[in-house]
Structure 1
Amino acid sequence: MTNFFVADVSSHDTIDAAALPQIGAVIIKATQGTTYVNPKCNGQYAAAKAAGKKLGLYHYASGGDPVAEANYFISNIKNYVGEALLAIDWEGYQNAAYGKNANWVKQFVTRVHELTGQWCLLYTGADGARECANVKDLCGLWFAGYPYYPGTKKMYPTFTVPTKFPYSTAPWPTYTLWQFTSSDGTKDMSISNMPLESWEKFIGKAIAPVPSPVPTKTVAQLAAEVISGKYGSGNARKAALGSQYAAVQAEVNRQLGATSKPAASKPAPAPTGKKAGVWYAQNGTFTLGANQQIWLRSAPLTGQKIALMHSGHEIKYNAYGYFNGYVVIRQKRATGYGYIATGTASGTKRTSYWGNFK
């Protein structure tokens, strides 16, 4: 595993958030200033350790006496020294020294090193990195920068890594970790710039690991995200996926059970003024076309599989709707409903048919 996800948790998070299955490591807020200890720290640490995660602890700078804050941090996490990577959180909120004392972080990390033999990772943004230039040879950089998800003014989803790093880390040559999202305030998530096996090697070191490329996603992973609606439909999806569009779309169709493109047949009446994600009442029968296998599911596109429908199968339905680039019909069953995709759509305009309607 080259790059891996790193969660940042504090008292705002649950105990279980420190042991998310998707992450390789967790860095837990331990202290702030000289008066605050995260009441969930020990529980979060234990949960992460039991789940086999790499471990880290951080202190949030309040901007008081840096030596006193370093002493307070280590006195509260001394049982974990040598096992956990240590970090200092340097940002403007609730920090009286931010932007006013360029030596604060150096004094703090030097004192931590005196007490533990470890150098801290520095968590900060572009402004903080420039302010703390005097520790660039002592501390690896945990960079905070949140680009917008393409076509939106929202942050990236928690486990969707941006394809580019659009910031300067100067005077650091690169970052060790990049916190690329807080999912608009709900979950902080970072991606590493080092292999997982380097975590312990980095504990106590003054030099950031050699970076490796941010991982690209497989066609199957992109297809799963398409089905969940992350890339929209039609031209928006084509633009987002670029040269991978054809391969990803073929995988999407395979995952949904559409194994070939049937000849166009008589369409259902073309909708006008419709909205995506809304059910419209319509009674009819859908018959699967030649060489088709499509799953009937408990929810549109991603629900549990109920039955595999084959060519010639007839599905009586009482409503249809447009969901994430597909036209889906709804079948009344003894216990609830079954749902099956009948072809692709661009917005609320059907673009293909996987069978016949009557």
Structure 2
Amino acid sequence: MFGIDVSYHKGNIDWNKVKPNINFAILRLGWVGNKKNHSLDSKFEQYYRQCKKLNIPIGVYVYNYCNSEENARDGAKWAIDKLKNKTLELPVYFDMEDESIQNLGRDKLTSICIAFNTEIEKTGLWAGVYANLYWYNNYLNKEEIKKRYTTWIAHYTDGTDKYKGEYDMWQNSSTGKINGVSSDVDTDYLYRDLISQIGNIKPTNPNDEILRLANEVISGKYGNGEERKKALGDKYAVVQDKVNELMAERNEITYVIKKGDTLSGIAKKFHTTVKELARKNNIKDINKIYAGDVLKI
């Protein structure tokens, strides 16, 4: 699928002329910064209304200046508020490219991405990460980002299938010519059918779905390890965080499984039995436990 991404720099767009030439559009929602310094793109509301009127599938991107996880979480909450009562057919992309933050280091920048996207995912929206090829290779933990989120890469070169199978979307040019846009425009190839996967979604109360899923996990509905990850899909990380939070609030004794642990060893450490641990945690095979899972003791 072929599309464009735009911000206020494109001025007034004739979307009626644009529509026959694209399958989707990614609109800049705005930018987020530090100390609650966030700003809505001056053309976002206009572009959103016009695309909706013409049934053009849309996603949004949020340009990032945040230099900490706390600021990124606040920026995400601002973005969620601006998307209230709006529907998206494509993800909310966190745009990582600003020079002012590039020296924070891979781990810190990746953690900032996760902080922002976790808040986005709590609402039921899909979260993604946008960066150019150099940023992905030098400033982010690329494999961790790709494992957690849908990815959008910028690299201006020839072809149409350059990154098919490696990234979900490729921004291939900043000098595209599209009837209805008066100046050069960014163009993109979407390889993964996210529009069908996502459907029309809008932000919900961040606590609703995640809380329900977390309580179902605690009740044993989704099993453990790979079974749970498969059942929860892209929501696994945020649901597991909520599970840990709920279990702490309930004053339950818990233990995070580490690499090399055995159920018998954990049982001995906490003066309980393998049978009791298996019962409490709905473990079907006592020889299969997974690092990172949380056990109720």
**Shorter-chain TM-score: what band?**
0.5 to 0.7
1:178 aligns with 2:186: no
1:198 aligns with 2:196: yes
Give 2:42's aligned residue.
Answer: 39
Q: Please give the root-mean-square deviation of Cα atoms over the aligned residues, in Å.
A: 3.0
Q: What number of residue pairs does the alignment pair up?
A: 185
Contact 1:26–1:55, Cα closer than 8 Å, also in 2: yes
Structure of greater relative contact order (alpha carbons < 8 Å, 6+ residues apart): 2
Deviation at 1:194, TM superposition (A): 2.8
1:78 aligns with 2:81: no
1:9 aligns with 2:6: yes
Give the 3 Å change call, closer, same or farther, for CA 97–36 of structure 1 in structure 2.
Answer: farther
Contact 2:26–2:59, Cα closer than 8 Å, also in 1: yes
Give the 3 Å change call, closer, same or farther, for CA 40–83 of structure 1 in structure 2.
Answer: same
In 2, Cα distance between the equivalents of 1:196 and 1:81? Answer: 14
> Among the aligned pairs, what percent are the same residue?
22
* Runs (5+) with no aligned partner, structure 1: 150-161, 208-358
Give 1:188's aligned residue.
Answer: 186
- The secondary structure found in structure 2 opposite 1:16 is coil
Contact 2:75–2:116, Cα closer than 8 Å, also in 1: yes
Give 1:142's aligned residue.
Answer: 152
Give 2:58's aligned residue.
Answer: 55
TM-score (norm 1): 0.46
**1:233-253: CA deviation from partner (whole Å, max 9, x where unpaired):** xxxxxxxxxxxxxxxxxxxxx
TM-score (norm 2): 0.54
Specify which of 68, 76, 83 is matched with residue 74 of structure 2. 68
Amino acid in the other structure paired with 1:141:
T
Give 2:24's aligned residue.
Answer: 25
Contact 1:61–1:95, Cα closer than 8 Å, also in 2: no
In 2, Cα distance between the equivalents of 1:12 and 1:163? Answer: 25
Contact 2:65–2:98, Cα closer than 8 Å, also in 1: no
Give the 3 Å change call, closer, same or farther, for CA 88–18 of structure 1 in structure 2.
Answer: farther
Deviation at 1:36, TM superposition (A): 1.1
Deviation at 1:126, TM superposition (A): 2.3
Task: Give 1:263-282 correspondences, 5 Å limit.
Answer: none
- The secondary structure found in structure 2 opposite 1:178 is strand
**1:202-235: CA deviation from partner (whole Å, max 9, x where unpaired):** 979739xxxxxxxxxxxxxxxxxxxxxxxxxxxx
In 1, Cα distance between the equivalents of 2:46 and 2:192? Answer: 27
Q: Which has the larger radius of gyration?
A: 1
More strand, by proportion: 1
More helix, by proportion: 2
In 1, Cα distance between the equivalents of 2:81 and 2:4? Answer: 24
